[in-house]
Amino acid sequence: MADTIRVGAGCLNQLPLDWSGNRRRICESIDRAQEAHVSVLCLPELAITGYGCEDQFLSHEVAERSWASLVEITTHTKNMVVAVGLPVWVKNAVYNTVAVLVDGEIKGLVAKKNLAGDGLHYEPRWFHAWPEGVIVNDRFGELHLPIGDPIFNLGGIRIGLEVCEDAWVADRPGRLFAGSGVDIILNPSASHFAFAKQEIREQFVVEGSRAFGAVYVYANLIGNEAGRAIYDGGGLIASAGQIVAEGPRFSFHETTLVHKTVDIERNRLHQARTVSRKIDVQGLSEIELPFKWPEVTSWDGQGPVPPMSKDEEFTRAMALAYFDYLRKSCSGGFVVSLSGGADSAAVSSFVKIMLDLALHELGKEGVRKRLPHLELPDDARDWMKILLFCAYQGTQNSGKITRNAARAVAEALNCDYAEWEVDKLVEGYESTIEFVLNRQLSWETDDIERQNIQARVRAPAIWMFANIRNALLLATSNRSEAAVGYATMDGDTSGGLSPIAGIDKHYLREWLRFMESKGLPESPPIKALSHINAQNPTAELRPQQAKQTDEDDLMPYQVLDTLERAAIRDKKGPKSALQVIRSIYPQYEEDQLIDWTTKFYKLWCRNQWKRERYAVAFHVDDQNLDPKSWCRFPVLSAGFREELAELHSPHFRP
């Protein structure tokens, strides 16, 4: 029996239902692990099918094809132990399982016990939760195998598994491993990115290692797998209650590997010293198999990495999401209606950041290999002309400030850029409506309608450019606008992808200042964003003498975002939400705070239909408003009528 073992976590950039591609990446990860002399390799949850297969998990053919892939993968696992995820059917129910491969053979399946069913996760829609302590034998392909929650005793080393959500619950399976002398716990995961989430993962990995006296190995997916969720990789290895190795996050490579030589005896000593540990003499069911552990002669391997700031996490997550969406959709690049404001500038800037980071990590030929559908010129400095087209579409209400800002940003990004006017289109629609109504339109009687038509007439031409270039049109509306419907449907919401729909305006403006002044080591600051950051956000749809700003139309963005979190994240009613902003913003009069609270709730309720129509949005914040992945609300409701009436009652005052 070995005292020291080299363990590894392989993170993979998979694609739902990509049988040959997913299998290739899994086998490449196994081959890399063998080259690094890894004996135990943990791969992500549902890596064979991809995590985001949605209702296709209910297809028998999906299960059959994933099993056929598993059989092929198994031949690569000589002299090692590999855990890899796939769906299987047992008694006409589908289970989220992990196959344990030992020395080139499938030896058993561990089924997930705690299914993720909150936020963007819908696992209970497709999978059944496996009951604790149950192991059955069933037929899988040509084999009869055990499935359940066994411990694998391989040559005297005990290995147990927690599958993703299993480790996030209070009653986690690892508590049973502690009393059964488990030496290594593997966690195959598909854990989506959200701000500061890696810190939480590190906590349960460290605590799993410390409390259970075991080596803990965590593997995750990488990249934009299925459209909305972004996975950050960042494989983790803990031993003796400490993170001893961490893999890269937000890598542009299809596979990453983190590995470390760990001391099994040190963890066993910890178990022996823990007097409070409850020993299960009978122990959990074990599958005992012979396995010759190779002698480890080197203690090399990666170590821990420093944490990222929120700005760096956001920048890297978005850049990787853009890159994966571009290549997996085989699109010819991106198209943006560049208004000279914060939202469109941010959406456009991510394309350059994406290219900077991809070139730094993959090199020119690596990027070409990953984007084979694009004809990229020899000089990489010209690639932005292919990857991004921006257009400023002016009206008589547009100002020099936004026009100059749009031009400066486009020049800094070195993208393909054009300017044109849309006044004649606006006049054409307005004259038609005036003819039908038999009256003239005016700002006094038709304010919203005249604003909306300006936004909408910009959509057809920019859509046409996207079609001509076979490119993705990026919508530019943000989360704060989504909350209150401050966006024109078929105007600034036009697009096939809405990258920042999950990001509030207040933070987005902070990030733009970060990119103007700091940037990343691989992607330098974009100084031209100073033209954006010097402005107050404005839709620029009213005549210039109106001096329109977003915050005059709505409320200060900080207040709006605070109300949104209170009302939507924390599910507070109008009275409680008012108390929140009253305590945070004492500088405002009570009547003003009541008016803003009333406005928020009214606009939130009447604009759910808009949120239902938003294009696919990246999930970067576990507080977003996307009804398809996080926040559900009825399209029709009473709209807090009675609750809001109470705020305006003469009897209601603090």
pLDDT at 539: 76
Residue percentage of the chain with pLDDT more than 70:
98
SS3 percent helix, strand, coil of the chain, rounded to 5, is 40, 20, 40
What is the band of 541 on the pLDDT scale with cuts at 50, 70, 90?
confident
pLDDT of 629 reads 84
Closest CA to 44 of 204, 263, 219: 219
For the chain, residues classed under CATH 1.10.10 are 556-654
pLDDT tier at 653, thresholds 50, 70, 90: low
What are the pLDDT digits (tens) for 46-71?
999 999 999 999 999 999 999 999 99
Residue 531: its H or E element: helix 530-533
Which CATH topology does 556-654 take? Arc Repressor Mutant, subunit A (1.10.10)
Closest Cα partner for 336 from 401, 400, 398, 410?
410
Rounded to two decimals, the pTM is: 0.95
Element (H, E) at 577: helix 574-584
What's the pLDDT tens digit per position in 298-313?
Answer: 777 677 888 999 999 9
Residue pair 561/505 in contact by the 8 Å Cβ criterion: yes
Mean pLDDT of 214-238: 97
Q: What is the pLDDT of residues 384-424, one digit of tens each?
A: 999 999 999 999 999 899 999 999 999 999 999 999 999 99
- Residues of the chain above pLDDT 90, percent: 86
> How many CA atoms lie less than 13 Å away from 114 in the CB half-sphere?
17
CATH 3.60.110.10 domain range(s) in the chain: 4-289
DSSP secondary structure letter of residue 565:
I
Q: Which of 132-141, 382-391, 546-555 bottoms out in mean pLDDT, i.e. has the lowest?
A: 546-555
| Other residues' Cβ atoms within 10 Å of the Cβ of residue 514 | 19
Domain span(s) for CATH 3.40.50.620 in the chain: 310-554
Higher pLDDT, 180 or 77: 77
Confidence label for 538 from pLDDT (cuts 50, 70 and 90): confident
Query: Could you tell me the pLDDT band of residue 1, with boundaries at 50, 70 and 90?
Result: low
Q: Does domain 4-289 have CATH number 3.30.560.10?
A: no
Confidence of residue 624 (pLDDT cuts 50, 70, 90): confident
Four-way CATH pick for 310-554: 3.40.50.620, 3.30.70.20, 3.40.47.10, 3.30.70.1400 = 3.40.50.620
The average pLDDT across 467-473 equals 98
The answer to whether residue 328 scores a pLDDT higher than 60 is yes
Task: Quick: pLDDT tens for 260-313.
Answer: 999 999 998 888 887 576 776 566 789 999 999 988 877 776 778 889 999 999
Q: Is 644 helix (H, G, I), strand (E, B) or coil?
A: helix
**And the tokens for 72?**
């092929």
Provide the pLDDT for residue 274: 75
Beta carbons of 172 and 182 less than 8 angstroms apart: no
